[in-house]
Amino acid sequence: MRDAWLYPYVPALAATLADDLAELGYSARARPLEGEPLAGLAGEGPADADRAGGGVASPGANGSGSRGNSGWRPPALVLVTLDARAIAVANERCARLRAVEELAEVPLLLASDENALRAGNTLPDGDELLVAPWSVDELRARVERANQRLGLADEGDVVRLGTLELNLATYQVTIDARPVDFTYMEYELLRFLITHPNRVFSREALLNRVWGYDFYGGTRTVDVHVRRVRAKLGNEHATHLLTVRSVGYRFER
């Protein structure tokens, strides 16, 4: 079962969600509402939260700032429940969740009651909004839409960008229908960035996410690969792969 993090600011809504999620094949994990040290930086994970909130993944954040040891696995889905009373804390929570790089590709859903929608209220930044009462079908549809919006298309989908085509099922990249020979790591880097568009990833984060943990190469490897991917993409498409000075890289779609 895939994990879904659930922030039960409104216990009644959270209980309904947990049942619905189970029906969709998610295992809902209640997250602590206070004191969760969800840092806004890659490399630091919500390790303490695991103890409090119950087993999302193996803790092991060591905060050394070096890559490859944050030790927790992002969930497949994050849900924040809110009502008029909880709207401020929910806002703050969502802002902090948004700042966690590991959660960048995880859809964030808001589950709200009607009261929270009153004029003058600022709803948190979420990918989809559920308003009670909802059905399991609506939940499923919202999750799918959020995934689509994040570019997390299902395997088998083809990402098209002008004349550039990336086939996620066959791992082939074509430009003007001509195959481009990417190496595996070049392909993986491009795939990752193109399916997580418009977000900045640090070199450390890319090393973690694309290269994995048993790589001894160091962050400059990322620069080298980006240069190569750009060269193979050619002028037209290379301009989408942006360097964000002193931060990292972003793919613009």
Partner 1 sequence: MPDRPADLDTSYVLRTVTERGVRFVRLWFVDVLGTLKSFSLPTSELEQALEEGVSIDGSSLEGSVRLRERDVIAVPDPRTFQLLPWRRQAPVARMFCDMRLPEGTPFAGDSRQALRNVLAQASALGYTLQVGTELEFFLFAPLSDDGALPVPLDRGAYFDLTPRDEGSDFRRETIEHLEQMGIPVTASHHEVGPSQHEIQLQYTDALSMADAVSTFKLAVKEVAHEQGAYASFMPKPLEDQSGSGMHVHLSLFEGERNLFHAPGDEPLSEAGRRFLAGVLTHAREITAVTNPWVNSYKRLGGGFEAPEHVSWTRHGRSALVRVPSARPNRQSAARIEVRSPDTGSNPYLAFALLLAAGLRGIERGYELGPEVEDEAPADAPLLPADLREATAAFEASELAREALGERLCEWVAANQRREWRDYQRTVTEFERRRYLPIL
Which residues of the shown chain bind partner 1 in the complex (CB under 8 A)?
2, 65-66, 76-77, 105-107, 147, 152, 154-155, 169-172, 179, 181, 183-188, 203-204, 215-221, 224, 227-228, 231
Q: To the nearest whole angstrom, how small is the minimum distance from the Cβ of residue 117 to partner 1?
A: 27
Q: To the nearest whole angstrom, how small is the minimum distance from the Cβ of residue 121 to partner 1?
A: 29
Total length of the chain: 253
Q: To the nearest whole angstrom, how small is the minimum distance from the Cβ of residue 192 to partner 1?
A: 9
The smaller minimum CB distance to partner 1, of residues 88 and 158, is found at: 158
E strands along the chain, which residues? 2-7, 26-30, 77-82, 108-112, 128-131, 158-161, 164-167, 172-175, 178-180, 200-202, 241-244, 248-251
The smaller minimum CB distance to partner 1, of residues 110 and 222, is found at: 222
The smaller minimum CB distance to partner 1, of residues 118 and 184, is found at: 184
Dist CA 107 CA 5 (whole Å): 11
From the list 99, 203, 107, the residue with the least C-alpha distance to 151 is 107
The smaller minimum CB distance to partner 1, of residues 187 and 251, is found at: 187
Range 74-89 burial, b when 16+ CB lie within 10 A, else e: bbbbbbbbbbeebbeb
Copy the structure tokens of residue 32.
């602590």
Q: To the nearest whole angstrom, how small is the minimum distance from the Cβ of residue 105 to partner 1?
A: 7
The smaller minimum CB distance to partner 1, of residues 50 and 186, is found at: 186
Dist CA 78 CA 4 (whole Å): 6
Dist CA 49 CA 27 (whole Å): 17
Q: To the nearest whole angstrom, how small is the minimum distance from the Cβ of residue 185 to partner 1?
A: 6
